[in-house]
Amino acid sequence: TDPILELRDLEVHFDTFDGRARVINDVDITVDEGETVAIVGESGCGKSVTAETIMGMLPQPPGEIVDGELYYKGEELLGDQTAHERVKSESMGMIFQDPMTSLSPVFTVGEMMRDVLTYQGKTNVGWLEIVRNVLGRRDADEAEMRDRSVELLDQLQIPDPEGVLDRYPIELSGGMRQRVLIAMAMLGEPEFLIADEPTTALDVTVQDQILDLLTEQIERENLSMLYITHNLGVARRIADRIYVMYAGEIAEVGTRDEILDEPLHPYSRGLVDSVPKLTEFDRDGIEGLLPDYTDPPSGCRFHPRCPAAMSGTCDVERPPRYELSSGQEVACHLYEDGLSRAEAAEIAAE
């Protein structure tokens, strides 16, 4: 299958009070047609910045795309804002966290304000008005828009879809609002969905229902999706392939089972081992453990935390992404010699 989306050599810097932060360093991501790809990593690892870049929503300044290309069905978008806008409105659907349920200390005021502005998650506006704004079609035929909205709300198992269209967001539960947000992403009949932690603020049961409904939509419409999450359980439910991100770089890429059952990169191994802890960490913010992006560690960015770090190598040379015979790719010096999966697994077990 052909890739629908290809991100190459992405490098993003931010101007901060402490200097220039090199947040995304040389990131490559490919999503094939019909494939669901997850990017997993701790909060602060750069996964949202990557998503924002793909959606053309990176705030510039303070962000700056220093290098990189983004191809959507072969068409380059990063250098062409008009093309990017067109592809977004014609082909991409974006699903975010419901700004009303994400009022938590995990998010900065800036993040929340941006979410609210972007998704029009205002309490004093009815759904139909929000849909209109999101579609950018204030003059859209009301009856047609209503029919299509009702059909989608119904597919997402929202009771009384007609009635919901005339309600305000604050009148619905968080889970119902998240369903509406998915319906809104589907309204433009996208081929490609991008989701940034949409279920994080919901309790596990509701999260499960939402993921089921999302999976149904994907299968029904044969969509491709890039799904950003810190939650490995969510990645297991939804992803065909997984990119593990650490400190603005891709640490490892493989199929869902490779990454979650037999991770090879020392960081992925730590991540998979610490699943219960990670969720707690993330709530409190794990940022303190990530490096300072204005002065990232030399060589492998993970070396100060890596139990397998080799001094003289890991602190000096940045590891390239080595491809194993299985197709799995690992950015780690341990896998330098084009190993087979079995040999690699043996190293990982040490």
Least Cβ distance, residue 308 to ligand SF4 (angstroms) = 4
Applying CB under 6 A, among 226, 243, 303, 344 the residue interacting with ligand SF4 is 303
Q: Which does 211 bind (CB under 5 to 8 A by kind): ligand SF4, Mg ion, none?
A: none
85-93, 132-140, 155-163, 309-317 -> range binding ligand SF4 (CB under 6 A): 309-317
Judged by beta carbon, residue 79 or residue 304, the one nearer ligand SF4 is 304
Handedness of CA 94, 100, 106, 110 (dihedral sign): positive
Q: Which does 48 bind (CB under 5 to 8 A by kind): Mg ion, ligand SF4, none?
A: Mg ion
Instruction: Give the span between the Cα atoms of 108 and 305, in whole angstroms.
Output: 26
d(CA 293, CA 63): 13
Closer of 146 and 321 to ligand SF4 (Cβ) = 321
Q: 38 to 57, contacts with Mg ion by CB under 5 A? A: 48
Cα dihedral 138, 144, 147, 150, rounded to 10, equals -20
Q: How far is the CB of 198 from Mg ion (least distance, A)?
A: 11
| Token duo for residue 231 | 């939650």
Among positions 235, 309, 324, 339, the unique one binding ligand SF4 when judged by CB under 6 A: 309
**Binding site partner of 302, from ligand SF4, Mg ion, none, Cβ cut-off 5-8 A by kind:** ligand SF4
Q: Three-state DSSP class for 345?
A: helix
Which of ligand SF4, Mg ion, none does 303 bind, CB closer than 5 to 8 A by kind? ligand SF4
In order of 206, 239, 262, the CA distances from 202 in angstroms are: 6, 19, 29
Our CB check for ligand SF4 shows the closer of 115 and 252 to be 252
Report in angstroms how near the CB of residue 334 gets to ligand SF4 at its nearest: 5
- Least Å distance, CB 166 to ligand SF4, is 54
Q: Which residues contact 198 (CB under 8 A, 6 or more apart)?
A: 95, 96, 97, 98, 178, 181, 182, 210, 214
Site string for ligand SF4, 263-282 (x = CB under 6 A): --xx----------------
Nearest to 98 by CA among 211, 215, 196, 222: 196
Q: Please say which residue, 230 or 301, places its beta carbon nearer to ligand SF4.
A: 301
Minimal distance, residue 72 CB to ligand SF4, in Å: 32
The site for ligand SF4, by CB under 6 A, has a size of 14
DSSP string computed for 114-148: HHHHHHT--TTS-HHHHHHHHHT-TTS-HHHHHHH
Contact status, residue 324 vs residue 345, Cβ threshold 8 Å: no
Q: Which residues pair with 229 in a beta bridge?
A: 40
Q: Using the rule CB under 6 A, is 324 a contact of ligand SF4?
A: no
Nearest CA to 245 among 2, 39, 51, 1?
39
Residue 6 or 52 with smaller CB distance to Mg ion: 52
Q: Beginning with the edge strand found earlier in the chain, give each strand of the sheet holding 3-16 in spatial order.
A: 19-32, 3-16, 63-72, 75-76
- Contact residue for ligand SF4 among 184, 300, 344, 348 (CB under 6 A): 300
If one asks whether residue 306 binds ligand SF4 (CB under 6 A), the answer comes out as yes
User: ∠ CA 113-289-9 to the nearest 5 degrees?
Assistant: 70
Encoding tokens for residue 136? 């950018």
- Choose which of 153, 334, 344, 348 interacts with ligand SF4 (CB under 6 A): 334
- Whether residue 161 has a cis bond before it, omega within 30° of 0: no
Q: Which is nearer to ligand SF4, 260 or 306 (CB)?
A: 306
CB of 25 to Mg ion, least distance (A): 17
Under the rule (CB under 5 A), what is the footprint of Mg ion? 48
Binding site for ligand SF4 (CB under 6 A): 265-266, 300, 302-303, 306, 308-310, 314, 319, 332-334
